[in-house]
Structure 1
């Protein structure tokens, strides 16, 4: 039977998995597959696996429980091996890199931050700060049939928005980096110009959250900061 893999931990990591079930209906029994100093937390994979809420929640619950007791290399939802032997083979082949990764995330958790800005506020700033945008904007308002100028204005606005958002994203990351041990920037999503994950020491979690709040307050009501965590360190595996 194929094997569903949740995470990799070292062999000293407690497996307090009582009361938890794995993915599937009914949920599979959780167990460990060991190789050397590593163990993979697994269950039997269901015949058909889809990203249903129940299975996503089961996957996340296993990771959160493991994270409470130490370093975890979390696997993304849906990772399946052919059998225990294949899992052992992968653990053995990657033992050094897995051990290094476990050392890097030990005592640390991930926080994901998404930052968005009110579009009207940004556009007002661009119009006020760019003579070319202001000139084209005034011309197209006075000449609503001037299609070429409208296209030029749209292209110029798009370029200005991209440039300013990229700069603001760099500024936010730089201002928060001192409160974290590392960061990983992902593609923007959900209208957020910044989608970044930070690796934070557990004992500095409160300080990091305060730093995010201070940055949000500094930027004002036109910005929305959405912080999630603590999370398993998905972005640093």
Structure 2
């Protein structure tokens, strides 16, 4: 029978899994496979793994339980192995890599910061700060039909948006990164201009959250930041 793998932990992690059920229609118990000083947290799975709401919640519940007692290396949703022996072979073959990675994240949790800016507020700020942009906008609104005017305004605004977002991202990273053991900048999506994951020591979480709250009050007009965490360190798994 195939096994679904949730995470890899150090051999001394308590892995308190009582009461947890794994993914799949049978809600199998979650258990541990051990080898090479490591513990893989798994459950049996019979059907094809799909990202159903109940299964995603079960996956996250296992990782949250593990994170409460020590930092594991989380696997992305959907990872399966043919059987327990296959899991042990992977633990044996990658023992040095896993142990190094676990040492790197020990005592930490991941926090994710996303930052975006309201487009209407940003555009108004640019028009207020740039005489040329304001002049072009006024000419367009007054009825001028020269096609070069909106083209120039669009290029000017786009360049200013990029410059402002780059500056804001740099300032946020500069302020928060020193509190992290490591950080990763991901490609932002949607209207966000920053997607930042930080590996924060558990004994420094309050200081980090206070710093973020202060930055959220001080960021530029229309800028909003959101924080998620503590999370398993997905961004720091080799």
Q: What TM bracket, shorter-length normalisation?
A: over 0.9
Aligned to 1:186: 186
- Identify which range, 29-38 or 127-136, moves more after superposition: 127-136
CA distance in 2, matches of 1:144, 1:165: 31
Instruction: Give RMSD over aligned pairs.
Output: 1.7
The C-alpha deviation readout for 1:163-189, integer Å capped at 9, x for no partner, is 211221111111112222221111112
Q: Does 1:111 align with 2:132?
A: no
Aligned to 1:51: 51
**1:67-86 mapped onto 2 (5 Å cutoff):** 67-86=67-86
Aligned to 1:41: 41
Q: Secondary structure at the match of 2:25?
A: coil
The C-alpha deviation readout for 1:138-174, integer Å capped at 9, x for no partner, is 3322345333321332233223212211221111111
Aligned to 2:170: 170
State the 1:222 CA deviation: 2.2
The C-alpha deviation readout for 1:56-77, integer Å capped at 9, x for no partner, is 1100000011111112000111
Aligned to 2:225: 225
CA distance in 2, matches of 1:9, 1:81: 17
CA distance in 2, matches of 1:195, 1:224: 12
Q: Secondary structure at the match of 1:193?
A: strand
CA distance in 2, matches of 1:132, 1:75: 51
Q: Is the 8 A contact 1:9 1:72 kept in 2?
A: yes
**1:199-218 mapped onto 2 (5 Å cutoff):** 199-218=199-218
Change in 2 beyond 3 A, CA 1:58/1:99: same
Paired residue total:
237
Q: Secondary structure at the match of 1:167?
A: helix
Mind listing any 5+ residue stretches in structure 1 that lack a counterpart?
none
Could you list the runs of 4 or more consecutive aligned residues of structure 1 that deviate by over 4 angstroms after TM superposition?
none
Aligned to 1:87: 87
TM-score normalized with structure 1 length: 0.93
- Identify which range, 58-67 or 76-85, moves more after superposition: 76-85
State the 1:2 CA deviation: 1.9
Q: Does 1:161 align with 2:161?
A: yes
The C-alpha deviation readout for 1:5-49, integer Å capped at 9, x for no partner, is 100001111121011001111212211222211121111124122
- Identify which range, 123-132 or 177-186, moves more after superposition: 123-132
Q: Is the 8 A contact 2:121 2:221 kept in 1?
A: no
Mind listing any 5+ residue stretches in structure 2 that lack a counterpart?
none
- Identify which range, 12-21 or 137-146, moves more after superposition: 137-146
